[in-house]
Amino acid sequence: MSIEVGSKVEGKVTGITNFGAFVELPNGKTGLVHISEVADNYVKDINDHLKVGEMVEVKVMNVEADGKIGLSIRKAKPQPEGTTERPRRPRPNRSFDRQPPKENFESKMAKFLKDSDERLSTLKRATESKRGGRGAKRG
């Protein structure tokens, strides 16, 4: 019996890790149920939901070329009428990130040059006053 994506099969939990549970399928192959696919609500500790040796119904989500099989327990359960999957959180509106720059390059450069000239003249005045100014006598 080959495992097909979308089919529901009965399997035995053979191992539990902190990221999911390994389930042995009827054909002898083993697949992984990720912790996010164990229950509809948040799963902090998978041991609260599954035990090694327990028989569970799983839905085959994907079969990769290297033999890895992705399984889901929560999608194998019958869905109530009118719902297909758990609701997704709405994505935040990120249109404010894409606003055009308020200043162009030329205006930024002019502002920089003005600030730079002001700082240089302030620095020059402070240095000259410490040396006695421009027309100071040198002795």
pLDDT per position as a tens digit, 44-102: 899 999 999 999 999 999 998 888 899 999 998 887 665 555 566 766 666 555 565 57
Domain assignment present for residue 94? The answer is: no
Domain assignment present for residue 85? The answer is no
In a domain, 83, yes or no: no
Q: Which domain holds residue 119?
A: 102-130
**Cα–Cα distances in Å, from 42 out to 10, 24, 48, 88, 134?**
23, 24, 11, 14, 77
Domain presence at residue 81 = no
| The pLDDT of residue 113 is above 80 | yes
Strands (E), the chain: 8-17, 20-24, 30-34, 55-63, 69-72
Q: Are residues 108 and 59 in the same domain?
A: no
CATH number at residue 67: 2.40.50.140
**109 lies in a domain?**
yes
Q: What is the torsion angle, in degrees rounded to the nearest 10, for the CA atoms of residue 23, residue 84, residue 78 and residue 15?
A: 10
In a domain, 31, yes or no: yes
Domain count, the chain: 2
φ and ψ at 5, to 5 degrees? -60, 130
**pLDDT at site 37:** 92
